Amino acid sequence: MNKIITRFPPSPTGYLHVGGARTALFNWLYARHTKGRFILRIEDTDVQRSTQASVDAIFEALKWLDIDWDEGPYFQTQRFPIYQEYIQKLLDSGHAYYCSCTPEEVDAMRKKAMETGGKPKYDGTCREKKLSKGENTVVRFKAPLMGTTVLEDVIKGNIVFQNSELDDFVIQRSDGVPTYNFVVVIDDIAMGVNTVIRGDDHVNNTPRQIQLYKALGAQLPVFGHVPMVLGNDRTRLSKRHGATSVTAYRDMGFLPDAFINYLVRLGWSHGDQEFFTREDLIEKFNLENIGRSAGVFDLEKLLALNADHIKAAPPAKIVPHLLPFLKEKGYEAEAGPYLEGVIKTLNARSKTLKEMADGAEFYFQENLIYDENAVKKFLTPAVLEPLSQLIAELEAIETFSEKALEAAFAKVLESAGLKFSKIAQPVRVALTGKTVSPGIFEIIEVLGKEQVLSRLKNALGFING
Ligand code: GLU
């Protein structure tokens, strides 16, 4: 087969939502898997509802997901001359005609058709009139009256539509603006798109689109209609179920790779594998394993997967995603070995980046904030002696290796006749302000000698009042 060419054509009438992101991903992954091309097209012909803010929000979400495109972004509003050319082609070949019926007349036809048990249709009044363009004329497609139009869907199988139930739909309105079903087909033909994966809310548009391809003598693309994403009550995912905007998940602290893993699994499978890196997905994604039944969005599963990705990712990969959360808390953290060290101590205990930023706070606090109960319980006069000794031992260590640290602690414990836990908790509170934290030695290694000694000394001072 020729190079696979897929596309993602969002209508900029709102932010990028979960379902749209999944469609984008499927097309992007399939293009990457097959070393094909992926096109981004902004379907902004509905000028009433399209906004620049939505365009920006869609770009922002795609950027976060790290979905890149090989062509575009195209904007349909900049392509009217191309559409005009194709309208003319259809008029010239007798596949389209001008119609002067008023909207009221068309409404009446629809009503009448419904009264006699039929589908609401235009009745073909102007079909053979050979009218010329007039002030209020629209252009209609001359659809086949009999037979069937078959959608051979790679996901749903064949779906047969009776042509008698479809009508001569408008392809250009009286104000010259071409209609949705028309421009989608023209763009897909003009851009060489040969694989169309989209939500199954578009199934009913497809027979009309197929008829246009045929009238233009163009080759049909492969169509695949993906079932909608559902909420936990099995109705279509909407705001009632929680956040539906992709960037809301960024702001909650999800890693983009975890989010795409989850979205892809919500409609595609590879045996019973749940965890996929981005590279894994590119390697394994195919159309055959897109499921026929709708995926149910489950935040708990997404959280669990996020935790797995946070744990598995190299710390350097987490850095750019964690930084905004630290900034938000007012810490001027920087990318580099220190932050990577911090992440290493927290990546096995954080479900989200937000949690990780909470857990990382003590590393960045200039003046450590002690938890009141922790202080009461652990920073007591009884630990003055061993803490002072520990400070002396640590001061004598040249470089903080795990071995040297263990030896220093062992010495203090032995001479004080204490168990490790008796000193570990006070040290923990001295270094982190809290009773729960990553392992003491891990923390000490990350903080480094200077910070550790200064924090231990501050704790001594605190106990001494
Ligand atoms: N612009 C359409 C939408 O946002 C997509 C059309 C298509 O995929 O053919 O739903």
Question: What local confidence, expressed as pLDDT, does residue 402 receive?
Answer: 85
pLDDT higher than threshold 80 for residue 111:
yes
What percent of the chain is predicted at pLDDT more than 70? Answer: 100
pLDDT average, residue stretch 404-421: 92
pLDDT higher than threshold 90 for residue 118:
no
Residue 40 located in a structural domain:
no
Task: Take atom 9 of ligand 1 and give the residue whose Cα is closest.
Answer: 184
Q: Identify whether 63 is a catalytic site residue.
A: no
Determine the Cα–Cα distance for residues 74 and 56; give it in Å rounded to an integer.
14
Pair of tokens at residue 189? 């033909």
pLDDT average, residue stretch 278-283: 98
Instruction: Give the CA distances from residue 206 to residues 263, 278, 382, in Å, rounded to whole numbers and listed in that order.
Output: 25, 31, 78
Task: Take atom 8 of ligand 1 and give the residue whose Cα is closest.
Answer: 198
Residue-number span of the structural domain to which 445 is assigned: 365-465
pLDDT average, residue stretch 133-146: 97
Question: What local confidence, expressed as pLDDT, does residue 96 receive?
Answer: 98
The answer to whether residues 42 and 12 touch, using CB atoms and an 8 Å cutoff, is yes
Kindly give the distance from the C-alpha atom of residue 15 to the centroid of ligand 1, in angstroms, as a whole number.
Answer: 14
Atom of ligand 1 nearest to the CA of 7: 8
**pLDDT tens digits, 164-194:** 999 999 999 999 999 999 999 999 999 999 9
- Ligand 1 pocket test: which of 27, 45, 184 has the largest number of ligand atoms within 8 Å of its C-beta? 184
Pair of tokens at residue 327? 């900034």
- Ligand 1 pocket test: which of 5, 11, 49, 55 has the largest number of ligand atoms within 8 Å of its C-beta? 11
The answer to whether residues 97 and 139 touch, using CB atoms and an 8 Å cutoff, is yes
Residue 465 — pLDDT band, cuts 50, 70, 90? confident
Residue 328 located in a structural domain:
no
Pair of tokens at residue 38? 């992926």
Kindly give the distance from the C-alpha atom of residue 163 to the centroid of ligand 1, in angstroms, as a whole number.
Answer: 23
Residue 90 located in a structural domain:
no
Kindly give the distance from the C-alpha atom of residue 311 to the centroid of ligand 1, in angstroms, as a whole number.
Answer: 36
pLDDT higher than threshold 90 for residue 357:
yes
What percent of the chain is predicted at pLDDT more than 90? Answer: 93
The answer to whether residues 109 and 122 touch, using CB atoms and an 8 Å cutoff, is yes
pLDDT higher than threshold 90 for residue 338:
yes
Using a 10 angstrom Cβ sphere, with 0-12 exposed, 13-18 middle and 19 or more buried, the burial of residue 420 is: middle
ω into 73 cis (within 30 of 0): yes
Contacts within 8 Å (CB) and 24+ apart, 152-158: 152/223, 153/203, 153/223, 153/224, 153/225, 154/222, 154/223, 154/224, 154/287, 154/288, 154/290, 155/224, 155/225, 155/226, 155/227, 155/287, 155/290, 155/292, 156/200, 156/203, 156/224, 156/225, 156/292
Kindly give the distance from the C-alpha atom of residue 197 to the centroid of ligand 1, in angstroms, as a whole number.
Answer: 10
Residue 249 located in a structural domain:
no
Kindly give the distance from the C-alpha atom of residue 11 to the centroid of ligand 1, in angstroms, as a whole number.
Answer: 7
Question: What local confidence, expressed as pLDDT, does residue 1 receive?
Answer: 61
**pLDDT tens digits, 420-444:** 888 999 999 999 999 999 999 999 9
Question: What local confidence, expressed as pLDDT, does residue 242 receive?
Answer: 85
Residue 389 located in a structural domain:
yes
CATH code, 442: 1.10.10.350
pLDDT higher than threshold 90 for residue 55:
yes
Kindly give the distance from the C-alpha atom of residue 188 to the centroid of ligand 1, in angstroms, as a whole number.
Answer: 11
Task: Take atom 6 of ligand 1 and give the residue whose Cα is closest.
Answer: 9
Residue 24 — pLDDT band, cuts 50, 70, 90? very high
The answer to whether residues 360 and 327 touch, using CB atoms and an 8 Å cutoff, is no
Question: What local confidence, expressed as pLDDT, does residue 360 receive?
Answer: 97
Q: Considering its fold, how many domains does the chain have in total?
A: 1
Beta strand pairing call for 157-162 and 148-153: antiparallel
Catalytic-labelled residue, pool 3, 119, 129, 239 = 239
Question: What is the CB < 6 Å shell around ligand 1?
Answer: 9-11, 43, 184, 198, 202
Atom of ligand 1 nearest to the CA of 184: 9
Question: What local confidence, expressed as pLDDT, does residue 462 receive?
Answer: 94
Residue 380 located in a structural domain:
yes
Instruction: Give the CA distances from residue 216 to residues 161, 163, 174, 312, 441, in Å, rounded to whole numbers and listed in that order.
Output: 20, 18, 22, 51, 71
CA torsion sign, 144 to 148 to 154 to 156?
A: positive
Residue 2 — pLDDT band, cuts 50, 70, 90? confident
Kindly give the distance from the C-alpha atom of residue 274 to the centroid of ligand 1, in angstroms, as a whole number.
Answer: 28
Instruction: Give the CA distances from residue 379 to residues 193, 431, 457, in Å, rounded to whole numbers and listed in that order.
Output: 68, 11, 12
pLDDT higher than threshold 70 for residue 298:
yes
Residue 208 located in a structural domain:
no
pLDDT average, residue stretch 330-356: 97
Instruction: Give the CA distances from residue 36 to residues 7, 75, 163, 290, 452, in Å, rounded to whole numbers and listed in that order.
Output: 11, 21, 34, 19, 54
Residue 107 located in a structural domain:
no
